[in-house]
Structure formats: C-alpha cells, structure tokens
A = this chain, B = another copy of it.
Amino acid sequence: MADVRPGGRTARVRASVLQATGDLLAEHGFAHLDLAEVARQAGVGRTTVYRRWGTTTALVTDLLVDMAEQSLRRTDAGSLLGDLCGNARLVQRTLSDPRQGALFKAIIAAATCDEQAAAALREFYRTRVAEWAPCVELAIERGEVPAGTDSHEVIRAVSAPLYYQLLITGQIPGEADADRAAEVVCLAARAGAFIG
C-alpha cells in the first residue's frame, strides 16, 4: 500500500494543469486567472483543481516550484564582464519572451499579496543567484574585483534594471539593455562598490 501515488495519472494531471496555468497567466494575467478555466483548458475536472490547489496563489506557487527545477546552467566567458553579460542576456531573453515575461509578471504580482508565493519566489531567485555568484568569486581570484565583494549582490544588481523595465516602465528589455546592465555593474564592482 502506498501513501502517495507519484506516478501516472497524478503526474499527468499536474503537468497539464501547470501548463494550462502558464498559458492562461501569460494571456490574461494573474488577476483574471480563473481556476475553472484552468481545469477546462487542462482537460481535467474542476473539482480536481480546487481540491489539489484551491487558490490561484497556490497554483502560481506550484508553477514556480516546477520552473525552479529546470534552472539554467551558468556559462563561463573568462572575464567578469563576459560572465555578467551572459547572465544579463539570459535574464533579458527570458523576460522579453511573450509567454515567460507575462508569466514572471504574474508570479511577481502573486508574490505581492501571498506569503507562500513570496517565499517560493525568494527561493527561486536564491537558487538562480547562487548558480551565477561563482563568476564573481572567480573574478575576485583573478584580482579583477576587490576581495570582500558581495557576489550575490552583484548578480542581483545585474537583473534589477531589467525587472524594473518589465514591471514599471513597461518596456520590453532588449540586448542593449542587458549589456548596459552588465557593464554598469562590472564597472562598479571593479571600483569596489559591492564590498560588505
């Protein structure tokens, strides 16, 4: 007797529901996300969605957990500017993709009003930032930036202007924006602005 049944149908249902959730979030945004419509589009019963998730924020949270599992590997360009550019371009490509960009907007909106979603979001970025932080550590070893530089803060600083564009000015970030973000942070990091 198994207490849980991870395989087969359950997994299929979760996959199709999360797929439908992503599609609908990208199309209508978080505020208009309707669990019944998710169920219809996923081809599962309404009851199932309400039972397993219950609220829109729980659904979004689970979607984020699912996305976090397929994190993107860091590249290594050999210089801090190259590495930060690589990271910035990756973020920029994600945010400028119509589906992914809308998805992130929706998830961030969900996080502003639900603690579980906010916690999932923090964990998601903690993982992603930790994946890229080593490129700053390497730069410290090379002597490119001063010792004591906060590697996580450097990575976050690269993403910040791209998210600012997406959420506040409403401009879709382009490659030039990504490169500028990387350059700004690289210059500041070399000058020791991220120590402490």
Chain A residues with CB under 8 Å of chain B are 28-32, 56-57, 105-106, 108-114, 118, 121-122, 125, 153, 156-157, 159-161, 163-164, 167-170, 176, 180, 183-185, 187-188, 191, 193-194, 196
A157 contacts B170, C-beta separation under 8 Å: no
CB atoms of B109 and A112 under 8 A apart: yes
Give the contacting residue for A184; candidates B31, B109, B122, B157; CB below 8 A: B157
Interface of A: prevailing SS: helix
* 30 contacting pairs across A/B (C-beta < 8 A): A29-B112, A30-B113, A31-B31, A31-B57, A31-B114, A32-B113, A105-B113, A106-B113, A108-B167, A108-B168, A111-B168, A112-B167, A118-B170, A122-B169, A125-B169, A153-B180, A156-B161, A157-B184, A160-B160, A160-B161, A163-B164, A163-B167, A167-B167, A176-B196, A180-B194, A184-B184, A184-B185, A184-B188, A187-B188, A188-B188
Q: Which residues of B lie under 8 Å from residue A31 when comparing CB positions?
A: 30-31, 56-57, 110, 112-114
The reply to whether B28 and A113 contact each other, CB–CB distance below 8 Å, is: yes
Select A183's contact among B28, B176, B193, beta carbons within 8 Å: B193
Contacts of A109 in B (CB 8 A): 30, 108-109, 112-113
| Contact yes or no, B163 A168, CB < 8 A | yes
A184 to B145 alpha-carbon distance, docked (Å): 14
Q: Which 6 residue pairs across A and B have the least CB separation, nearest first?
A: A29-B113, A160-B164, A31-B113, A184-B188, A109-B109, A105-B112
Are the CB atoms of B108 and A170 closer together than 8 Å? Answer: no
Instruction: Give CA–CA (A112, B163) in the complex, Å.
Output: 12
